[in-house]
Structure 1
Amino acid sequence: PFVMPTVVVAAAITALIGRQGIVNQWLQTLFQTNTPPIDLLQTIWIILIAHAFYNVSVVIRTVGGFWGALNPRLRQAAAVLGASPPRVFWEITLPLLLPSIIAASLLIFLFCFTSFGVVLILGGLQFTTLEVEIYRQAVSLFNLPVAAFLSLVQMALTFAVMALYTRLQARLSIPLELQPATAVARPPRRHQWYFVGGAVLFLLLVLLGPLMALVWRSFTLGGDGWTLAYYQELTLNRRQSAFFVPPVIAVRNSLFFASATTALSLFLGVVSAYLLARPRGWLSTILDPLFLLPLGVSAVTLGFGYIVAMGPLRTSLILVPIAHTLIAAPFVLRSFLPALRSLDPQLRNAAAVLGAGPIRSWWEVDAPILLRALLVSAIFAFTVSLGEFGATLLISRPDTPTMPVVIFQALSRPGLLNYGQALAMSTILMTVCTVAVLLIERFRLPGTSEF
């Protein structure tokens, strides 16, 4: 769920527990009623559910990955000394996991604090957060001074949380000899299989339930069985629809912007990686946090900054890929830099001794590693651009919407047609993002990526 665009998550939650979601459909059939028993839309509860669904992967990835790499000898030594399993957990395992738990908690707090799409779509303007208020002041009221002040407050609070995260990590970190997960993994015992099976089933239900509901409702919305009507409607622009152009044009726009973003991000990220790959000095000390600065600023704040700073380009198509590049370039850098640093210069020296020139040495020694990292970086940039919503909503033109903007427009308007188109477009975007993640996992070199 964490790699899905926020508009897809919002659409998936409504497809599961919204007024026309699967759960309400089942309950209405069960109790023979025409009124949805569950009405959580534009309440704090659906926002909390969506954020919990969106960020549970952070805990699994952060805490679970660290837990799986803990040396089992620590627990075995405590057990030999007579400690029971609960005592081993409370006195050995939990203190060791504390840094990763705090790290995951602060990351989730930061992601929720800067959340925009989920709050705007599911909560509306009545649940105004800093991000939503910046958007409202800049776009709806055109009160740029207030929007600028709120952006500065948002940036200050975000950097304060990031500083707290770094400081706590340094204080609570315990030097450990971590093991590869494959080295410490052991098959569950007979009685543990029930717990493992139940946990896996529960996680699959929680993580995949909303996404599967999204796909299901995109084909069954309306109650007339399976239909492709809402996918076919994406090619039309009916009068009662919410779009200025046929929704399928948004797919073309997104692909164009994503392609331009990929090219710009690869150039910027690869050049930055070569600058940082040199032996550490004052230049890399300054540039390293500078290149990561966009990750600490919300997309809405970035979009507002472009509105203020890029006056002559406000109506230009190039503004969207420029904004997307600023967001995607850190992902390219952090995917390409570890692979670049992993290159062994002795291999190039050996190739030179054997008579290979610099170009041939690079092509036969460096290229096999770097090309895979470059491909992963390109997929990262392409996917980030496809799903970007906050900045795009502020700077895109009405006649060139992207897929997330079209989904937001459809979810914001009444009518079964608009909602069905939103589900269909969300399913397409979810499929593309899923394929991209699978490709990243396929081509990524183990241990050479920071994401």
Structure 2
Amino acid sequence: MAFGDGAVISRPRPTGRGGRSALLALVPLAFVGTFFLIPLIALINRAFGESGGDSIGAMLEQTRAWHLLWFTVFQAGMSVLCTVAIGLPIAWLTSRVRLPGIGVLRALVFVPFVLPTVVVGIAFRVLLGDGGPLAGLGIDGTVWAIVAAHVFFNLAVVVRTVGSVWAGLDPRAVDAARTLGAGPARAFLTVTLPALGPAIVSAASVVFLFCATSFGVVLMLSDGTINTLETEIYRQAIGYFQLPQAVLLSLLQLAMVVVVMVLVGRLSSARSRIGATRHAQRPRGIGWVAVIVTAAATLIIVLGPVAVLVYRSLRPTVGGPWSLAGYRALGSNAAGDSAWHILGYSMTSALWAALLSLVVGLFAAVAISRIRGRFSAVVDAIAMLPLGVSAVTVGFGYLIVLSSMPADVADSPFVVPAVQAVIALPLVVRMVLPGLRAVDPRLRQAAATLGASPIRAWLDVDLRLVLRPVCAALGFAYVIALGEFGATGFVARPDTTTLPVLIGTALSRPGADSLALAMAASVVLMAVTVAVVGLIEAVRGSAGGDI
């Protein structure tokens, strides 16, 4: 490496780096093994002990497993394509344009992601069903209704994952392309898009896994006529009490996830370089058209279903009277306590879960980015496993494990944050990993040459350059934990009930009062999310600065 005075500094040898990185991988491996694999193995042992001698082929045929697998992949693939296509312009707007209100828009994109999926399903049912604003589209009860809800729910994954990397791309390559005569479109396709490739692949893989394991959205929008692996797992386990069939479908789902992660690992092996963050710029000329169109479309996509949700909280029944009964019910006892007390516990539990998943996720992301060879892919796949297994399966596994433990352990308030951290971990890894892979190793080598220890070099170089993705990952982990319903519903106790569990319980009860309570609680959850994300944006801006 040459400096301005002509001195040449040789690159330090990365002696022992692979061994240290392998040791770092032990932390996420131990965490996933303890809080995910042990409950999963316990459930598998219980299920196949009750199989009654039925062959695997017979159970696969009985459940129409191959058709379910094909349809699950199809609807998830279409959801990914639509989400990426819509999310990229919004990622550009929120990461590269400097205008008043961009921070608010960035926070609003977070809102759909925190909503329980069953609530998202209800909102789109109102939008697309009879009498709804979009009933004329004629897609109610079809796969396209599911795709539309998935785009709404997962849009923030693409915007935040890609936007965090986009904000830190070295602008000199684009400037050079423009100097050589490339137009804006060609410069984007030949320079910016390839540099964003790893982040796009990472975001797409997360969206695919969320859509492939989606439960509440499919359940609410299909009227029982459309099934995926996830909904069939629930039906076999809860409706028919066929635990072996449910576990077999979960294993098929897990195999699908492993295949996807192997493909993602190969596609995301390319590395972009992060340099100094380019300041966001105000639009000029025709750029205003792109800004206005993108901002208007974002507001419609995000606020449309949200407005329906607020409307239904004030008018729970179609054509019924306007009422604040749902909000008044928040102060009454529900699930053993008031909804406000439950909200307080939800926020505390989500904070511990977010911090735990961030620490473990950083260990995993650093190890994966430093290790070479197959072991890196193995660690990556294991860290992503919780995204690919049904929440119903995970919940049943925890019930089996906790039932054999002392009451002090089974009823511990740590159980809920641990489960939520397991669910959030894959997204933390997937958001931080592209940034770490994009760090130019020569910067770290220069710091080591100047006397910095490996830890000091990582803090001064890597962490500073990926501070934005780390903050985004922390925010995502928090809202995931705050809105997690599937697995938490199985381990929650009366004193550890979360707000999404309360919403799900209220939706399962008949009557307009229960529906009003569920809608009002959803609006409160949404408002808390906006406030928390706004705080994270403020902290990130003051801490990250121009990083």
Unaligned runs of 5+ in 1: 28-35, 351-360
Does the CA-based 8 Å contact 1:410-1:421 persist in structure 2?
yes
Q: What one-letter code is carried by the residue in structure 1 that aligns with 2:397?
A: G
Does the CA-based 8 Å contact 1:42-1:122 persist in structure 2?
yes
**TM-aligned CA deviation for residue 165 of structure 1:** 1.5
Does the CA-based 8 Å contact 1:24-1:37 persist in structure 2?
no
| In structure 1, C-alpha distance between the alignment counterparts of 2:263 and 2:358, rounded to whole Å | 31
Q: What one-letter code is carried by the residue in structure 2 that aligns with 1:317?
A: D
Q: 1:71 aligns with which of 159, 174, 189?
A: 174
> TM-score, normalising length from structure 2?
0.58
Q: 1:297 aligns with which of 380, 383, 388?
A: 388
Q: What one-letter code is carried by the residue in structure 2 that aligns with 1:115?
A: S
Q: Which residue of structure 2 aligns with residue 121 of structure 1?
A: 220
Q: Which structure 2 residues correspond to residues 288-327 of structure 1 after superposition, within 5 A? A: 289=380, 292-298=383-389, 300=391, 301-313=393-405, 316-318=410-412, 319-327=415-423
Give the 3 Å change call, closer, same or farther, for CA 397–64 of structure 1 in structure 2.
Answer: closer
**TM-aligned CA deviation for residue 257 of structure 1:** 4.0
Q: What one-letter code is carried by the residue in structure 2 that aligns with 1:439?
A: L
| In structure 2, C-alpha distance between the alignment counterparts of 1:327 and 1:140, rounded to whole Å | 25
Q: Which residue of structure 1 aligns with residue 102 of structure 2?
A: none
Q: What one-letter code is carried by the residue in structure 1 that aligns with 2:247?
A: A
Does the CA-based 8 Å contact 2:123-2:308 persist in structure 1?
yes
| In structure 2, C-alpha distance between the alignment counterparts of 1:44 and 1:255, rounded to whole Å | 34
Q: What one-letter code is carried by the residue in structure 2 that aligns with 1:201?
A: A
Q: 2:152 aligns with which of 43, 50, 53?
A: 53
| In structure 2, C-alpha distance between the alignment counterparts of 1:297 and 1:6, rounded to whole Å | 19
Q: Which residue of structure 2 aligns with residue 421 of structure 1?
A: 517
Q: Which residue of structure 1 aligns with residue 126 of structure 2?
A: 18
Does the CA-based 8 Å contact 1:403-1:425 persist in structure 2?
yes
**TM-aligned CA deviation for residue 52 of structure 1:** 1.8
Does the CA-based 8 Å contact 1:138-1:147 persist in structure 2?
yes
**TM-aligned CA deviation for residue 128 of structure 1:** 2.2
Q: What one-letter code is carried by the residue in structure 1 that aligns with 2:256?
A: L
| In structure 2, C-alpha distance between the alignment counterparts of 1:267 and 1:64, rounded to whole Å | 22
SS at match of 1:115: coil
Does the CA-based 8 Å contact 1:251-1:403 persist in structure 2?
yes
| In structure 2, C-alpha distance between the alignment counterparts of 1:414 and 1:19, rounded to whole Å | 21
SS at match of 2:487: helix
Q: Establish whether residue 212 from structure 1 lines up as the match of residue 307 from structure 2.
A: yes
| In structure 2, C-alpha distance between the alignment counterparts of 1:220 and 1:56, rounded to whole Å | 28
Does the CA-based 8 Å contact 2:506-2:515 persist in structure 1?
yes
Does the CA-based 8 Å contact 2:346-2:482 persist in structure 1?
yes
Does the CA-based 8 Å contact 2:349-2:417 persist in structure 1?
yes
Does the CA-based 8 Å contact 2:118-2:504 persist in structure 1?
no
1:133-187 deviation line (CA, Å, top 9, x unaligned): 22233333332222221111111101111111221233xx4x7666666358463
| In structure 1, C-alpha distance between the alignment counterparts of 2:165 and 2:471, rounded to whole Å | 27
Q: Establish whether residue 141 from structure 1 lines up as the match of residue 249 from structure 2.
A: no
**TM-aligned CA deviation for residue 427 of structure 1:** 0.9
Q: Establish whether residue 403 from structure 1 lines up as the match of residue 499 from structure 2.
A: yes
Q: Which structure 2 residues correspond to residues 342-421 of structure 1 after superposition, within 5 A? A: 382-397=478-493, 401-421=497-517
Does the CA-based 8 Å contact 1:75-1:93 persist in structure 2?
no
Give the 3 Å change call, closer, same or farther, for CA 314–261 of structure 1 in structure 2.
Answer: farther
Q: Which residue of structure 2 aligns with residue 188 of structure 1?
A: 284
Does the CA-based 8 Å contact 1:8-1:430 persist in structure 2?
no
Q: Which residue of structure 2 aligns with residue 356 of structure 1?
A: none
Q: Which residue of structure 1 aligns with residue 254 of structure 2?
A: 155
| In structure 1, C-alpha distance between the alignment counterparts of 2:525 and 2:352, rounded to whole Å | 18
SS at match of 2:268: helix
**TM-aligned CA deviation for residue 232 of structure 1:** 0.7
Give the 3 Å change call, closer, same or farther, for CA 60–430 of structure 1 in structure 2.
Answer: same
SS at match of 2:284: coil
Does the CA-based 8 Å contact 1:7-1:407 persist in structure 2?
no
Does the CA-based 8 Å contact 2:202-2:430 persist in structure 1?
no
**TM-aligned CA deviation for residue 400 of structure 1:** 5.6
**TM-aligned CA deviation for residue 419 of structure 1:** 1.9
| In structure 1, C-alpha distance between the alignment counterparts of 2:274 and 2:431, rounded to whole Å | 22
**TM-aligned CA deviation for residue 304 of structure 1:** 3.4
Give the 3 Å change call, closer, same or farther, for CA 13–413 of structure 1 in structure 2.
Answer: same
| In structure 2, C-alpha distance between the alignment counterparts of 1:3 and 1:19, rounded to whole Å | 17
Give the 3 Å change call, closer, same or farther, for CA 269–57 of structure 1 in structure 2.
Answer: closer
| In structure 2, C-alpha distance between the alignment counterparts of 1:249 and 1:425, rounded to whole Å | 12
SS at match of 1:71: helix
> TM-score, normalising length from structure 1?
0.69
- Root-mean-square deviation (Å): 5.3
Does the CA-based 8 Å contact 1:139-1:394 persist in structure 2?
no
Q: What one-letter code is carried by the residue in structure 2 that aligns with 1:231?
A: Y
What percentage of residue pairs aligned between the two structures are identical?
33
Does the CA-based 8 Å contact 1:18-1:38 persist in structure 2?
no
SS at match of 1:182: coil
| In structure 2, C-alpha distance between the alignment counterparts of 1:166 and 1:413, rounded to whole Å | 44
Q: Which structure 2 residues correspond to residues 89-100 of structure 1 after superposition, within 5 A? A: 92=190, 96=194, 99=197
- Count of aligned pairs between the two proteins: 414
Q: Which residue of structure 1 aligns with residue 73 of structure 2?
A: none
Does the CA-based 8 Å contact 2:157-2:203 persist in structure 1?
yes
Give the 3 Å change call, closer, same or farther, for CA 420–43 of structure 1 in structure 2.
Answer: farther
1:28-73 deviation line (CA, Å, top 9, x unaligned): xxxxxxxx88886654343222112123334444566667746143
- Larger RCO (CA within 8 A; separation ≥ 6): 2
SS at match of 1:166: helix
